[in-house]
Amino acid sequence: LCSASIQDILATFKRRSGGKANLADLPEKVTMQLNDTHPTLGIPELMRLLMDEEGLSFDAAWKITSQCVNYTNHTVLPEALEKWSYDLVQEVLPRHLQIIEQIDAMYAKQHPSAPEATRIIGYTTPEVEEEEEAEAGAKGAKEAAAAAKAAPAPVPDVVRMANMCVIAGKYVNGVAAIHSEIVKDDVFNDFYQIWPDKFQNKTNGVTLRRWVAFCNPSLTKLINEKLGSDAWLSDWKQLERLREFADDADFQAAWRASKLENKKALAEYVYETQGIELNPEVAMFDIQVKRIHEYKRQLLNILGVIYKYKQMKEMSKAELDAVVPRAVMIGGKAFATYTQAKRIVKLINAVGKVVNADKAVGDKLKVAFLPNYNVSLAEKIIPATEISQHISTAGMEASGTSNMKFALN
């Protein structure tokens, strides 16, 4: 999963050292940022390479690794704090599990009073059958004591990947000021009590070069003309100067023309890929694109569409004529085993089939699900958006950057 990258890092470090590489200096040249817990195996893999391939001791390898690794937590949701099956890791990566257990044992020795929940290896105690309990209760105190001694010992059950990230990380950060406080006060509070200086905040951001200059060239050209250069791409505060043109009719017309150009490009893409005709000249593009999740509330969005459609069906012709046409587009990917998210996607498509086939409603309401959402598709969608839906359950969104991208366009 990560061995090739880490081997490449070590090889590059050695090559650039001119054959005089001192691995103790690796932290001065290399930092590995673990984004959530997916790349956590980078920790035991770096340890393995340093010990098994480079001949370092566990202590020497740990000193290097714990200075090279940082951990970014992107969400407070439990699903991001991955817990892997102990038996699966043992079967697939036995050497890595040995190293993980060494790290866990070292942590437990250094912090004997730390809560069990902070350990990397989680244990479970096998349940005793009710019949066995009844038999033990029927015996005398001596027999009961002997039975207690023979009770099943706890067995390793899970590998807590997030705990390993915190223990190994030189620094741990959230991605927004409020989120980082939640990380310290709630998600990893036990660790914060041990290492308060380890926890930091790094607020997320986006680059204007990609999310304006690259994906929206017509708007970029307009801004360059008004500001006199493209210096704003490296100094975004210069965009404040656009306020001077807020009431400029020509500027407003050019801005609307840029938006319409982008809307036409997206409408063409939707027709080519989904066979759904949108009218960019009149329809307001109402868009929500992000990972499909219950807390991001795509379900609330599509229920709102159903309600709008129901209202339209009850309107007189005069009332319907007064409705502002709206094209609702929802895009995103659902995790492979997230059944409820897939049901939401199915509902969005089902609603689209009904609404888009209703000639009485026509262009007043259209619904499209945009599949295979990725950066390339976002570069088409974001410049064309007029309403961007950010309706996640309060307190669940760590930072969010799509709102920044939409605001820029």
* Encoded tokens for 14: 């050695």
CB 339 within 8 A of CB 298: no
Q: Report how far residue 75's alpha carbon sits from residue 190's, in angstroms, rounded to the nearest whole number.
A: 18
Do residues 128 and 152 touch, judged by C-beta distance below 8 A?
yes
Residue 382 structure tokens: 């974001």
Q: Rounded to 5 degrees, what angle do the CA atoms 330, 334, 335 make?
A: 165
The residues annotated with a catalytic role in the active site are 74, 290-291, 296, 401, 405
The two three-digit tokens of residue 260, written as one number: 């319409």
The candidate with the shortest Cα–Cα distance to 401, out of 240, 289, 294, is 289
* Structural tokens at position 386: 């007029």
Estimate the crossing angle of helix 141-149 against helix 130-138, to 10 degrees.
140
Task: State the CB neighbour count (10 A cutoff) for residue 269.
Answer: 16
Structure tokens at 344: 């939401």
Burial of 207 (0-12, 13-18, 19+ CB in 10 A): middle
- Written as six digits, the tokens of 217 are 């060239």
